[in-house]
């Protein structure tokens, strides 16, 4: 993915990027920019991500993939022009959505309140079941099952260290780095962000780490807009000043 982005900016004759930013899978792409093309960016913002998936993170994705492939309409991926594997994709989305939230956010949002309907005879009739059922059904209307399979495989296969120690993969990087994490994120816990920070420090990279106190879980990187805006704005202002960027000599600001 990053190779395609690099090809695009090359086609646009853009040599230097003021900053590359991304959260979750986008954060992995930022790490790839730092390791694969360290000479093309002045700063990077890594949000709620990891340098490589843990066995638990891979396991959640594999259950979702198995749900899709077990759907009789998947047909080894040759379902176009026919009935799509909506049931399997819906279940995959439900599993994923659980990991995006936190125990606190789910308790606050749903509690033990009863739902409006029972989608099947074994349902406990709870509001959280209605929510997951509706999220799954909504997702299949705008997303493709094969795309889900390929994207989750790409995420699970990603390793910013490329089989080495991460700090060795980062040692050519001269860019300033901001790493943001969220305390209630259990999909990409703060401990994984701290490992990125540690590797950056060992590689001699000017790195800032901020851990935001939020109850939204992994979804926080999409919801804590005000706090993130404050931190990112300050970081970019500093990066702009330190790189001598003016209206006459502007480095293109690029975000993933």
> In this structure, what token pair is assigned to residue 248?
């006459």
Using left for φ > 0, alpha for ψ between -120 and 50, and beta otherwise, residue 71 falls in beta
Catalytic residue among 24, 43, 90, 105: 24
Specify the CATH number for the domain of residue 43: 3.40.50.1820
248 located within any domain = no
Backbone CA torsion sign across 210, 28, 256, 239: positive
> In this structure, what token pair is assigned to residue 49?
């991500």
Residue 19 is a catalytic residue = no
What pLDDT sits at residue 164? 86
Last residue of a domain, one of 115, 131, 156: 156
What pLDDT sits at residue 117? 77
What pLDDT sits at residue 253? 44
Say how far apart CA 231 and CA 50 lie, in whole Å: 20
Catalytic residue among 71, 90, 105, 218: 218
CB 183 within 8 A of CB 190: yes
What pLDDT sits at residue 100? 96
**Count of domains observed in the chain:** 2
What pLDDT sits at residue 255? 43
Q: Does residue 39 sit in the same domain as residue 60?
A: no
Last residue of a domain, one of 156, 173, 196: 156
Q: Does residue 99 sit in the same domain as residue 148?
A: yes
What pLDDT sits at residue 246? 60
DSSP reduced 3-state for 109: helix
Residue 247 is a catalytic residue = no
User: Which parts of the chain sit beneath pLDDT 70?
Assistant: 246-256
98 located within any domain = yes
Q: Does residue 186 sit in the same domain as residue 235?
A: yes
Say how far apart CA 8 and CA 87 lie, in whole Å: 37
Q: Does residue 18 sit in the same domain as residue 90?
A: no
Catalytic residue among 185, 193, 214, 219: 185
CB 193 within 8 A of CB 201: no
What pLDDT sits at residue 254? 42
Residue 53 is a catalytic residue = no
Q: Does residue 48 sit in the same domain as residue 68?
A: no
Q: How many CB atoms lie within 10 A of CB 114?
A: 12
Reported in sequence order, the residue ranges of the chain that DSSP labels E, i.e. its strands, are: 20-23, 43-47, 176-182, 207-212
Q: Does residue 127 sit in the same domain as residue 166?
A: no
Domain that holds residue 21: 2-52+159-207+222-242
Q: Does residue 69 sit in the same domain as residue 107?
A: yes
Question: CA nearest 36: which of 173, 163, 165?
Answer: 173
Q: Does residue 80 sit in the same domain as residue 104?
A: yes
216 located within any domain = no
């Amino acid at each position: 993915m990053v190779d395609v982005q690099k090809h695009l900016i090359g086609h646009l004759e853009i040599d230097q990027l003021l900053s590359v930013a991304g959260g979750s899978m986008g954060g992995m792409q930022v790490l790839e920019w730092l390791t694969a093309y360290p000479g093309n960016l002045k700063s990077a913002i890594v949000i709620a991500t990891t340098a490589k998936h843990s066995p638990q993170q891979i396991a959640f994705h594999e259950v979702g993939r198995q749900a899709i492939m077990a759907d009789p309409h998947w047909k080894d991926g040759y379902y176009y022009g026919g009935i799509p594997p909506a049931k399997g994709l819906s279940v995959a989305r439900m599993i994923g959505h659980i990991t995006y939230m936190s125990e606190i956010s789910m308790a606050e949002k749903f509690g033990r309140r009863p739902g409006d309907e029972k989608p099947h005879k074994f349902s406990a009739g709870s509001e959280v079941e209605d929510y997951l059922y509706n999220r799954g059904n909504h997702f299949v209307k705008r997303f493709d099952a094969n795309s889900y399979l390929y994207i989750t495989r790409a995420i699970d296969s990603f390793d910013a260290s490329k089989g080495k120690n991460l700090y060795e993969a980062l040692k050519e990087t001269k860019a300033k780095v901001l790493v943001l994490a969220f305390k209630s994120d259990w999909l990409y816990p703060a401990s994984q962000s701290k490992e990125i920070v540690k590797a950056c420090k060992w590689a001699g990279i000017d790195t800032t780490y901020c851990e935001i106190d939020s109850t939204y879980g992994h979804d926080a990187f999409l919801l804590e807009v005000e706090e993130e805006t404050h931190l990112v704005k300050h970081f970019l202002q500093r990066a702009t000043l330190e790189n001598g960027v003016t209206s006459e000599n502007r480095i293109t600001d690029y975000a993933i």
